[in-house]
Amino acid sequence: MQYISKALVAGGLVILTGPLCLMGHAQSYVDVEAERAAAQSSAASDTSTSADSGTTAPPDPYSVQPAQSYPATSYGVGSAPAATPMGGTTAPGAAPAAAQGGQNLGNLFYQLQQLQQEVMRLNGKVEEQANELRVLKEQSLQRYVDLDKRISGGAGAAAGSAASASASSGGSGNTTITMPPASSGSGVAEQPGEGEAYRAAYALVRGQQFDSAVQAFQKFLQDYPAGKYAPNAHYWLGELYLVVEPQDLESSRQAFMLLLSEYPGNSKAPDAMYKLGKVYFLKGNREKSREYMDRVISDYGSSNSSAVKLARDFIAENY
Amino acid sequence: MKRLTAFALTLMLMAASLAARAELTIEITQGVDNPTPIAVVPFAWQGAGSSPTDIASVVDGDLNRSGQFAPVGRADMLGLPSTEAEIFYRDWRAINTEYLVIGRVSVAGEMRIEYELFDVLRQTRVHGGVVTGPVNEARMLAHQVSDAVYEKLTGIPGAFATRMLYVSVTRVPGGNDYYRLTLADSDGARPIVLLESREPVLAPSWSPDGRQIAYVSFESSRPAIYRQELATGRREQLTSFKGLNGSPAWSPDGNTMAMVLSKDGSPDIYLMNLASKRLTRITNHYAIDTEPTWMPDGKSLLFTSDRGGRPQIYRYDLRSGNTERVTFEGTYNARARVAQDGRNMVLVHQRDGSFHIALLDLVTNRLHVLTSTQLDESPSIAPNGSMVLYATKYAEQGILAAVSVDGGVKFRLPAREGDVREPAWSPYMRR
Sheet with strand B163-170: strands edge to edge: A73-74, B192-197, B178-185, B163-170, B419-425
**Domain limits, chain B:** 31-154, 163-425
- The verdict on residue A124 lying in a domain is no
- The verdict on residue A176 lying in a domain is yes
CATH of region B31-154, choose from 3.40.50.10070, 3.40.50.2300, 3.40.50.920, 3.40.190.10: 3.40.50.10070
DSSP-derived letter for residue A189 is P
Q: Contact A91/B239, CB-based, under 8 Å?
A: yes
- The verdict on residue A115 lying in a domain is no
What pLDDT, on the 0 to 100 scale, is given for residue A15?
34
Q: Contact B241/A91, CB-based, under 8 Å?
A: yes
What pLDDT, on the 0 to 100 scale, is given for residue B52?
75
CATH number of the B163-425 domain: 2.120.10.30
Question: Could you tell me which residue, B338 or A82, shows the higher pLDDT?
Answer: B338
- The verdict on residue A217 lying in a domain is yes
Question: How far B297 CA lies from chain A's nearest CA (Å)?
Answer: 25
Q: Is residue A198 within 8 Å of A182, Cβ to Cβ?
A: yes
- Comparing alpha-carbon positions, the chain B residue that sits nearest to A42 is B243
What pLDDT, on the 0 to 100 scale, is given for residue A83?
54
Residues of chain B where predicted confidence (pLDDT) is lower than 70: 1-23, 430-431
Longest dimension (CA), chain B: 72
Distance CA A26, CA A113 (A): 9
What pLDDT, on the 0 to 100 scale, is given for residue A32?
44
What pLDDT, on the 0 to 100 scale, is given for residue B28?
72
Question: How far B200 CA lies from chain A's nearest CA (Å)?
Answer: 9
Q: Contact A86/B325, CB-based, under 8 Å?
A: no
Instruction: Encode pLDDT of A101-125 as tens digits.
Output: 578 888 999 999 899 999 999 999 9
- Which A residues, 16 through 45, put their C-beta within 8 Å of a C-beta on chain B? 19-20, 22-23, 26-27, 29-34, 36-38, 40-41, 44-45
The phi and psi torsions of B405 (rounded to 5 degrees) equal -65, -15
The size of the A-B interface in CB pairs under 8 A is: 185
ipTM above 0.85, yes or no: no
The phi and psi torsions of B276 (rounded to 5 degrees) equal -95, -10
What pLDDT, on the 0 to 100 scale, is given for residue A187?
53
Sheet with strand B201-206: strands edge to edge: B201-206, B212-217, B224-229, B235-239
Average pLDDT over residues A183-192: 60
Residue A256's CATH number = 1.25.40.10
Q: Contact B232/A82, CB-based, under 8 Å?
A: yes
- The verdict on residue A281 lying in a domain is yes
Judged on CB neighbours under 10 Å (0-12, 13-18, 19+), B252 is middle
What pLDDT, on the 0 to 100 scale, is given for residue A247?
84
Residue A165: pLDDT above 80?
Answer: no
Query: By percentage, how much of chain B surpasses pLDDT 90?
Result: 65
Question: Could you tell me which residue, B215 or A181, shows the higher pLDDT?
Answer: B215
pLDDT band at A188 (very low <50, low <70, confident <90, very high): low
pTM of this prediction?
0.64
Residues in Cβ contact with A186 at an 8 Å cutoff, skipping those fewer than 6 apart:
A228, A231, A263, A265, A266
What pLDDT, on the 0 to 100 scale, is given for residue A313?
85
Q: Contact A34/B198, CB-based, under 8 Å?
A: no
Determine the residue among B222, B229, B390, B393 to mutate to test chain A binding: the one whose Cβ has the most chain A Cβ atoms within 10 Å.
B222
State how many domains chain A has.
1
Average pLDDT over residues A146-174: 50
Query: By percentage, how much of chain A surpasses pLDDT 70?
Result: 59
Highest mean pLDDT (candidates A4-13, A98-107, A212-221): A212-221
Question: How far A75 CA lies from chain B's nearest CA (Å)?
Answer: 5
Question: How far A85 CA lies from chain B's nearest CA (Å)?
Answer: 5
Q: Specify which residues B112 forms β-bridges with.
A: B106, B132
What pLDDT, on the 0 to 100 scale, is given for residue B401?
92
Distance CA B306, CA B290 (A): 9
- Comparing alpha-carbon positions, the chain B residue that sits nearest to A23 is B266
CA dihedral B260, B264, B267, B272 (to 10 degrees): -10
Domain span at residue A190 reads: 167-318
Comparing A153-157, A173-177, A309-313, the range with the smallest average pLDDT is A173-177
Average pLDDT over residues A191-214: 84
Secondary structure (DSSP) of A260-298: HHH-TTSTTHHHHHHHHHHHHHHHT-HHHHHHHHHHHHH
Comparing A17-21, A44-48, A267-271, B215-219, the range with the smallest average pLDDT is A17-21
What pLDDT, on the 0 to 100 scale, is given for residue A101?
57
